[in-house]
Amino acid sequence: MSKITFPSKAIFMCNGSKCGKHKEVKKYIKQLNKESGTDDKIEIFKMECSDRCKSAPIVYFQPENVWLEKADVAMCKELIEK
């Protein structure tokens, strides 16, 4: 039996029609995660619309259970660095 190791943290980025337009946030999160060397600890997922479109873009951090609304680069940077 083989053992699979998963990162202990995850970032879910909404990829719905409203949030998906904010490509700068998605690009920044992926780039920062890689440059920070945290890509083995934090896995990034796309998620479908969560009906919070008025607050686009939505980014969700687990296991902290932190939902960012109107997420921008600075907000994401602060959370990833923590």
Where along the sequence are the contacts to ligand FES (CB under 6 A)? 14, 16-19, 49-50, 52-53, 56, 58
Coil, helix or strand at residue 42:
strand
Angstrom distances, CA of residue 23 to CA of 2, 3, 45, 73, 80: 37, 35, 14, 11, 18
Name the minimum Å distance from CB 45 to ligand FES: 14
Minimal distance, residue 34 CB to ligand FES, in Å: 24
Q: Between residues 32 and 47, which has the closer beta carbon with respect to ligand FES?
A: 47
Q: Which is nearer to ligand FES, 53 or 79 (CB)?
A: 53
- Shortest separation between residue 81's beta carbon and ligand FES, angstroms: 24
List b or e across 6-18, with b for residues whose CB sees 16 or more CB atoms inside 10 angstroms: eeebbbbbbebee
Q: Looking at beta carbons only, is 30 or 52 nearer to ligand FES?
A: 52
SS3 60: strand
